[in-house]
Structure 1
Amino acid sequence: MRNINRACFFALFFIISCLGKSQVANENKTIKTEAYSAEKRTLFNTNKADCITLPFGYGDISRLKTVDSVLAAIQDQSKLKEIESLKFDKDIKKDLLLLPEEYNVFLPFSKNVNEKVDRIKIASDFLCYGEYSLYFIGVFNTVRYADPYIEKIYLVSMKNNHLIDMKRIYLNHQGEMGFANYTLFNIDKDYIISLQDYEFTESPFKLKPSSKYQILPSGKFSVYYHHDGSYQNEGEQGTVKNHTKEGKWVEFKSNNHLDLKKYPEFTDSYTYLEAEYKNGLPTGKWNFYKLSQEYNEETGEPIIETRKKGKLIYTETYKDGVLKKREFY
């Protein structure tokens, strides 16, 4: 009987001990979660007095067509001071902003960002859009230059302290041997975001196609088209409704998910995409095929008339604009 009582005592002691440890662990987890939420709340300014006035950005980007005009805009000190006046004064931890992987969303916190040398800051001034707040996040380059400068700016859409979407709107990347890539932006009074990419290479200058984005009622960013109806250019074709993509689309684009090491027979990373959109957002199953095309021997540009759909490489499944599954074949 004494042995049984002793066994019961030790069993009871063990259970109480485990319960105590579990309670401490849960308390620690709760404290960390509360601290994380509190930090997130204090990070994002909610004072409507700090909402910026539109238009904002580089209002003349549609007229920047030559090397001299682009360089003059990029080096315009008054415009740089205007961007810096957004007050990038709060540091961000790399794990504080997390989003699910979505179509055409560029996250600033990739493996290419070295947190020891790159500073990531959020601006106090922000953009008010109905029930959404759009914050400017700057990535400062501190590696090659004595004075850190803003290399990237992301516009982040939030509602009730929850991240909805993000879009890179500014780039000032200065590479080796004079090579450089730039993206300038403008946000007009109707909240339409215009982006223009410029590339300085050995060519020596390449003006890339401009693009426009709008903020959907869901708070997400979507490509903006001026006219509804059928649309077609060298990179895509489909139907536009309410200035956004709707229904079935075919797109021909370079694909960073295609690992050429796994496909030694492929000479480039272009894919033939059969996509579907609903209210401007990806939906359903997307099929990515290898894009077969010939190139002009003199210019290196693809010959549009030679494009053909090759073998199926992988599929993506979307729901409400969010990528749910990617499956390779």
Structure 2
Amino acid sequence: MHKINIVFFSILFILFSCSTRAQTENKAIPAEPSSADKSSMLFNTNTADCISLPFGYPDLSKRTTADTTLSIIQDEHAWKQINALKFETPIRKELVSLPEEYDVYLPFSRNTDEKYDRIRMASGFLCRRDYALHFMAVYNTVRYAEPFIEKIYLISTKDNKPVDMKRIYLHHEGEMGFSRYTLFHIGKDNIISLQDYEFTEGPFRLQPMQQYQVLPSGKFARYYDKDGPYQDEEEQGTVKNHLKEGKWLEFKANSSAEMQKHPEFTDPYTYVEAEYKNGLPTGTWKFYKLLQKYDEETGAPIIKTRKKGPLIYTETYKNGIVQK
């Protein structure tokens, strides 16, 4: 969960001034575009460009080894679908700011890095009664002979205005051949499945799959297959109507924790007492230092040693939007 705050798409309108957290934060403040920008103000609404479901990489839940992951990364059918989106509408670098290394939510914060100098919107989009979902690609144009799509974001809109955003695809090439991937699948039931993979000097790492749905408001919310009590290594709470509901405990890396402002954070992990209503943050969230021990050989946290440390700060939410 990340701290973010931006000017989003001057070609659309100027969005948001906000403070922390990676859910979705602050209210949109429309601005009258210049006459030169009006032609590019709107997202594509031509129903002839609506795409059908399912879409993306199939059988993500079955790709559990390095070999099967490589085979799906190279899946030609999935790439034909992605290329059919037609990422042909360029966005000037100065008109969009992307704050993240691997994750992003609206609104954004920091300035666009030099490697984000090719950003394009797709013509193809997902048409829904209450909202639409548009695709934006960020091309990596450094270090490699040919630019390639490094990230794809899914932007939800209502009345042709952006509401929320989530990165659904990642192809990150690091040093020494290390790489990270996020692959996605959007089913006929409109559930968005995301699977993270990591190839490093250590063993192949497969992160738990996460699923999302888009609420009638246009906001993304975590989706769970079953209702009732839920618990894994990162969170625990109650699921109602496939969404988070009520009090939750979350143990996650949190880049919102400013190390200079809060030197108590010797690492970026927090113990969070959170609250949700219909899948969206609500009420007062309390952020504590997460006390935990680490495996001396792998550096991985030892889950059974986790406990709550001192309270560091709080955030207040209403309808998924941070108030303070």
Equivalent residue number for residue 251 of structure 1: 250
Equivalent residue number for residue 314 of structure 2: 315
| TM-superposition CA deviations, 1:162-197 (whole Å, max 9, x none) | 111011000001111011110000000010000000
C-alpha deviation, 1:311, in angstroms: 1.1
What amino acid does structure 1 have at the position aligned with 2:167?
Answer: R
Equivalent residue number for residue 45 of structure 1: 44
Equivalent residue number for residue 127 of structure 2: 128
> What is the Cα-based RMSD across aligned positions, in Å?
2.5
What amino acid does structure 1 have at the position aligned with 2:317?
Answer: Y
Kindly tell me: are residues 169 and 116 of structure 1, through their superposed partners in 2, closer, same or farther at Cα, counting changes over 3 Å?
closer
Count how many residue pairs are aligned between Structure 1 and Structure 2: 291
Is 1:165 paired with 2:164? yes
C-alpha deviation, 1:35, in angstroms: 4.2
* Contact 1:141/1:149, CA 8 A, preserved across alignment: yes
Kindly tell me: are residues 112 and 62 of structure 1, through their superposed partners in 2, closer, same or farther at Cα, counting changes over 3 Å?
farther
CA distance in 2: counterparts of 1:281 and 1:71, whole angstroms: 35
Choose 1 or 2 for highest CA Rg: 1
| TM-superposition CA deviations, 1:18-66 (whole Å, max 9, x none) | xxxxxxxxxxxx984454444212xx21011211110000012111111
Task: Describe the SS at the equivalent of 1:45.
Answer: coil
What amino acid does structure 2 have at the position aligned with 1:273?
Answer: V
Equivalent residue number for residue 25 of structure 2: none
Kindly tell me: are residues 115 and 121 of structure 1, through their superposed partners in 2, closer, same or farther at Cα, counting changes over 3 Å?
farther
| TM-superposition CA deviations, 1:243-276 (whole Å, max 9, x none) | 0001111100011122335555644211000111
CA distance in 2: counterparts of 1:116 and 1:214, whole angstroms: 30
What amino acid does structure 1 have at the position aligned with 2:200?
Answer: T
CA distance in 2: counterparts of 1:87 and 1:75, whole angstroms: 19
5 Å matches for 1:279-290?
279-290=278-289
What amino acid does structure 2 have at the position aligned with 1:255?
Answer: N
* Contact 2:264/2:289, CA 8 A, preserved across alignment: no
* Contact 1:40/1:96, CA 8 A, preserved across alignment: no
Task: Describe the SS at the equivalent of 2:142.
Answer: coil
Equivalent residue number for residue 225 of structure 1: 224
C-alpha deviation, 1:115, in angstroms: 5.2
5 Å matches for 1:85-234?
85-94=84-93, 96=95, 105-106=104-105, 111=110, 113-114=112-113, 118-234=117-233
CA distance in 2: counterparts of 1:172 and 1:284, whole angstroms: 36
What amino acid does structure 2 have at the position aligned with 1:53?
Answer: S
Task: Describe the SS at the equivalent of 1:300.
Answer: coil
* Contact 1:117/1:143, CA 8 A, preserved across alignment: no
Kindly tell me: are residues 220 and 52 of structure 1, through their superposed partners in 2, closer, same or farther at Cα, counting changes over 3 Å?
same
Identical amino acids, percent of aligned pairs: 63
C-alpha deviation, 1:200, in angstroms: 0.8
CA distance in 2: counterparts of 1:294 and 1:89, whole angstroms: 49
Kindly tell me: are residues 299 and 36 of structure 1, through their superposed partners in 2, closer, same or farther at Cα, counting changes over 3 Å?
same
* Contact 1:290/1:313, CA 8 A, preserved across alignment: yes
What amino acid does structure 2 have at the position aligned with 1:320?
Answer: N
Larger RCO (CA under 8 A, 6+ residues apart): 2
| Structure 1 segments of 4+ aligned residues over 6 angstroms from their partners | none
Equivalent residue number for residue 15 of structure 1: none
* Contact 2:119/2:137, CA 8 A, preserved across alignment: yes
C-alpha deviation, 1:302, in angstroms: 2.2
What amino acid does structure 2 have at the position aligned with 1:235?
Answer: E
C-alpha deviation, 1:147, in angstroms: 1.7
Equivalent residue number for residue 8 of structure 2: none
C-alpha deviation, 1:111, in angstroms: 4.0
* Contact 1:252/1:291, CA 8 A, preserved across alignment: yes
Kindly tell me: are residues 207 and 31 of structure 1, through their superposed partners in 2, closer, same or farther at Cα, counting changes over 3 Å?
closer
Kindly tell me: are residues 117 and 287 of structure 1, through their superposed partners in 2, closer, same or farther at Cα, counting changes over 3 Å?
closer
Equivalent residue number for residue 13 of structure 1: none
**Stretches of structure 2 lacking an aligned partner (at least 5 in a row):** 1-30
C-alpha deviation, 1:107, in angstroms: 5.6
Equivalent residue number for residue 80 of structure 1: 79
CA distance in 2: counterparts of 1:86 and 1:92, whole angstroms: 16
Kindly tell me: are residues 36 and 247 of structure 1, through their superposed partners in 2, closer, same or farther at Cα, counting changes over 3 Å?
farther
CA distance in 2: counterparts of 1:303 and 1:64, whole angstroms: 26
| TM-superposition CA deviations, 1:210-251 (whole Å, max 9, x none) | 100011111111000111111111111111111000111110
User: TM-score with structure 1 length normalisation?
Assistant: 0.81
CA distance in 2: counterparts of 1:168 and 1:264, whole angstroms: 30
C-alpha deviation, 1:96, in angstroms: 4.9
CA distance in 2: counterparts of 1:122 and 1:31, whole angstroms: 21
Task: Describe the SS at the equivalent of 1:239.
Answer: strand
Task: Describe the SS at the equivalent of 2:78.
Answer: helix
Task: Describe the SS at the equivalent of 1:177.
Answer: helix
